[in-house]
Amino acid sequence: MIRLARLPLFVLVALFGALGSIPTAIAQNGDRIRGTGLPLPRFVSLKSDDVNVRNGPGQDYDVAFTFVRRGLPVEIVQEFDNWRKIRDSEGDEGWVFHSLLSGERTALIAPWEPEGQFAAHSSAEVEATVVAYLQPRVVANVEQCSGTWCRIRVEDYAGWIEQERLWGVYPNEKF
């Protein structure tokens, strides 16, 4: 054991200076470990039919609610270690373990509308042939977005829909 009282003053200053930088180094290193480095917020989808959403980032936290449908889009708003804080289309938030999420892009058709039908077209034009009419809250796989239109797939139907009709992609997002 080192006895601090017997060390010269310049050694004590150097020792405490080095110790003082350790938490900073750990925090900087921890930041790299804790997050994926991917942009926040971002959309992903649920990988499983049963996904428990917790009040905090860990299994010690209570389950706030459970999603029961695979493929629903959710928005990751925060990361902590292997936990992701997500938000659903209704604005509810909670934490899920990262392996319960998929990078597959999905979207809900106009979940803010209580009723109605929304046309999916054969091309990214309002005048294009309608290939399907979709009801609000239908889950669609999103194949690409131009910034104004997205190509979606619902079961055996594929078509283009105005991007503003979807929850699960950002305005003007292209991919």
CATH 2.40.50.180 fits 108-167, yes or no: no
Q: For residues 166 and 107, is the Cβ–Cβ distance under 8 A?
A: yes
Q: For residues 125 and 113, is the Cβ–Cβ distance under 8 A?
A: no
Which residues have CB under 8 Å from 112's CB, separation 6+?
A: 136, 167
* CATH class for the domain made up of 42-104: mainly beta
Residues of the chain with CATH 2.30.30.40: 42-104, 108-167
C-alpha separations of 76 from 9, 80, 82 in Å? 50, 11, 12
Single-letter code of the amino acid located at 15 = L
What percentage of residues in the chain have a pLDDT greater than 90?
A: 80
Could you report the per-residue pLDDT of 4-45, keeping only the tens digit for each?
Answer: 444 444 443 343 344 443 333 333 434 434 679 999 999 999
Query: Minimal CA–CA distance to 142: which of 44, 38, 41?
Result: 44
Predicted structure pTM score:
0.79
